[in-house]
Structure 1
Amino acid sequence: MNINSDIFKIESNNVLPSRGKILISEPFLRDTTFGRSVILLIDHTEEGSMGLIINKRLPLFTNDIIKEFQYLDDIPLYKGGPVATDTLFYLHTLSNIPGALTIGKGLYLNGDFDEIKKYILQGNSVNVPIRFFLGYSGWEGKQLGNEIKENTWLVSEEENDYLLNTNIKGMWKQALEKLGSKYETWSRFPQVPSLN
């Protein structure tokens, strides 16, 4: 029986990174922060890149850090990355928030936080239109480009519904599977092969 060993070769899918695209970590990345992560690129320029990990929850809630939200239902909080972990970022679909940065069609980052608070305190649902993050992921200059050349990351695109989905279990696997059969095979590799 002939087995095509190329399916085990980790190689990029040759999609270029840009604002609004996602990075999917390769299956053998053993880093505790970035292993099995999906990152939304907030910006990608010659000076550097910034992104938010969208599939890793923190063991606390937004209600724990914003006193005005303390009596609301628990609002999940995500680990955006290892940089500026004391800074709150918020991804949303609210087009009327002044000062928000457009990430993609109908997707925004930050903006006037008083308007975000007002929206939430008026009883509007948070689960679909807003996600909160502490910290971000950052790369200097050509660092991200080099990591992509080294096949640490695959670059892809996703719809806003996927990016804002609070059901993050299996998100990394789903992102890989959407890229085709070779990548779907990667998604089944055990995270720690020696424990298999």
Structure 2
Amino acid sequence: MTQILPAAGVLLIADPFLKDPNFKRTVVFLCEHQEEGSFGFVLNRRYDFTLDQLMASAEGMPITVFYGGPVQLDTIHFLHRYPEKIPGGFEVTDGIFWGGDFETAVELLKAGEIEVSGIRFFIGYSGWSEGQLQGELDEKSWITSHGSRKLIFHKNLEAIWKDALLELGGDYQQLVNYPLDPQMN
């Protein structure tokens, strides 16, 4: 089972026994990985508030916001599949874009010109300082995989972690059945 090296577009799939409450049974999509550090967004944690509750410009739009991670919980980020309509985005990997003009994205959603299923909003992000992520990978806290639109924009939040492991096949498929706490087995 060879690990994929961390890079933009790679998924970090939490080991079944990872205890950190911020990342237990999560999948993180890395948007950037450099020697100085890495950052990405947790894909499978719903935040307590919707977009219209967080941003006045999104009034009347009760769109799900995801908990991107424990860093800078006063910021909103987004991933999308609309580079031709939302200017300023950065292509993370094949057809998945990070950021761009937030107000344009909101106006396009209001006008029905883009689908909610093709955009994900996150509060905060997940970040690692220089060497930190590599240390966690060495400790086997994460399993790496390539990000895909299917997982990034998955319709069933509760299935993302399991589906990410199932896509890897082989021995990884068995991990989906591991209990949260092996002592309770």
Q: Which residue is 2:72 aligned to? A: 84
Residue 154 (1) aligns with residue 143 (2): yes
Superposition deviation, residue 125 in structure 1: 4.6
Q: Is the Cα contact below 8 Å between 1:127 and 1:166 reproduced in 2?
A: no
Post-superposition CA distance 1:105-132 (Å, at most 9, x none)? 2111111112112211212354221100
Superposition deviation, residue 48 in structure 1: 0.5
Superposition deviation, residue 181 in structure 1: 2.7
Moved more, 107-116 or 74-83: 107-116
* SS of residue matched to 1:170: helix
Q: Is the Cα contact below 8 Å between 1:75 and 1:126 reproduced in 2?
A: no
The correspondence for 1:41, drawn from 12, 30, 40, is: 30
The correspondence for 1:168, drawn from 137, 148, 157, is: 157
Output the CA distance in 1 between the equivalents of 2:116 and 2:87.
Answer: 21
* SS of residue matched to 1:94: coil
Q: Which residue is 2:183 aligned to? A: 194
Gaps of at least 5 residues in structure 2 are none
CA RMSD of aligned residues (A): 1.5
Superposition deviation, residue 153 in structure 1: 0.6
Query: Between Structure 1 and Structure 2, how many residues are aligned?
Result: 184
Q: Which residue is 2:134 aligned to? A: 145
Percent of aligned pairs with the same amino acid: 35
Q: Is the Cα contact below 8 Å between 1:13 and 1:154 reproduced in 2?
A: no
* SS of residue matched to 2:172: helix
Q: Which amino acid aligns with 1:23?
A: L
Q: Is the Cα contact below 8 Å between 2:79 and 2:120 reproduced in 1?
A: yes
* SS of residue matched to 1:98: coil
Gaps of at least 5 residues in structure 1 are 1-11
Q: Is the Cα contact below 8 Å between 2:154 and 2:160 reproduced in 1?
A: no
TM-score w.r.t. length of structure 2 = 0.93
